[in-house]
Amino acid sequence: DVKVTQSSRYLVKRTGEKVFLECVQDMDHENMFWYRQDPGLGLRLIYFSYDVKMKEKGDIPEGYSVSREKKERFSLILESASTNQTSMYLCASSSTRGGGTGRTYEQYFGPGTRLTVT
Amino acid sequence: GENVEQHPSTLSVQEGDSAVIKCTYSDSASNYFPWYKQELGKRPQLIIDIRSNVGEKKDQRIAVTLNKTAKHFSLHITETQPEDSAVYFCAAAPPEYGNKLVFGAGTILRVKS
């Protein structure tokens, strides 16, 4: 079974702090994602990485950065946490194996980190 | 870019009844449409998916239908049970997005016993 783990289930930080959220997957997946989940807004992509040291901005990258130094680990960084970044953060990974109609897009999610910024 | 709209936002059904959740997408090139289920306090998990070369797919009590002309796809759950209560997300995969998915806003399904 694919296992995606996140460093914390719950985190409380103060405004202005630098926050690190870590995600680790054990299936040698090329792709890793960071989402933010808010009620009524679904899963919004913050950043995406398709290889080590490679990253792409998602739909809501402002106020966030990422790091992928190793294939299994993808970190989300809040440079200066603000109260509007209070949310549930979900990490996911997927494989690029297969092509054409056999391409696999399935994403495997971590358990989430509930971040509260006060 | 691709936009996925999902309706309804909440749905309450009596145990044993059927539930239908609908999604529309904007990019006609999208070729893969998964559905994820997220139980309370748990991570989203894939429950069923459909590719653009197929019109319908079934897996026990759940089925997904795809209408490419109208650009919409639906999740059908028959004989609902309390354990079906969860948030359901649809998504679409436009080829130009690489390996990314575009998710709908989610539907909260409550099955009343």
User: What pLDDT is attached to residue B54?
Assistant: 86
User: What pLDDT is attached to residue A82?
Assistant: 98
Chain A residue whose CA is closest to B88: A42
Chain B residue whose CA is closest to A31: B99
Q: Please write down the HEC assignment for all residues of chain B.
A: CCCEEEECCEEEEECCCCEEEEEEECCCCCCEEEEEEECCCCCCEEEEEEECCCCEEEECCEEEEEECCCCEEEEEECCCCHHHCEEEEEEECCHHHCCCCEECCCEEEEEEC
Residue A2 has pLDDT above 70, yes or no: no
> Residue A22 corresponds to which tokens in the numbers above?
């870590």
User: What pLDDT is attached to residue B89?
Assistant: 97
User: What pLDDT is attached to residue B47?
Assistant: 97
User: What pLDDT is attached to residue B99?
Assistant: 83
- Residues of chain B with C-beta less than 8 angstroms from the C-beta of A42: 6, 89, 103-106
Preferred mutation among A33, A94, A107 to probe B, highest tally of B CBs within 10 A? A107
A42–B53: do the CB atoms touch at under 8 Å?
A: no
Q: Write down the mean pLDDT value for chain A.
A: 92
Residue A100 has pLDDT above 60, yes or no: no
User: What pLDDT is attached to residue B53?
Assistant: 87
User: What pLDDT is attached to residue B94?
Assistant: 85
Residue A38 has pLDDT above 70, yes or no: yes
Mean per-residue pLDDT, A72-89: 98
- Over the stretch B65-79, which tens digit does the pLDDT of each residue have? 999 999 999 999 999
Taking the Cβ of residue A100 and every Cβ of chain B, the question of whether any pair is shorter than 8 Å is answered with no
User: What pLDDT is attached to residue B1?
Assistant: 84
The answer to whether residues B36 and B43 touch, using CB atoms and an 8 Å cutoff, is no
Pick out chain B residues at pLDDT < 50.
Answer: none
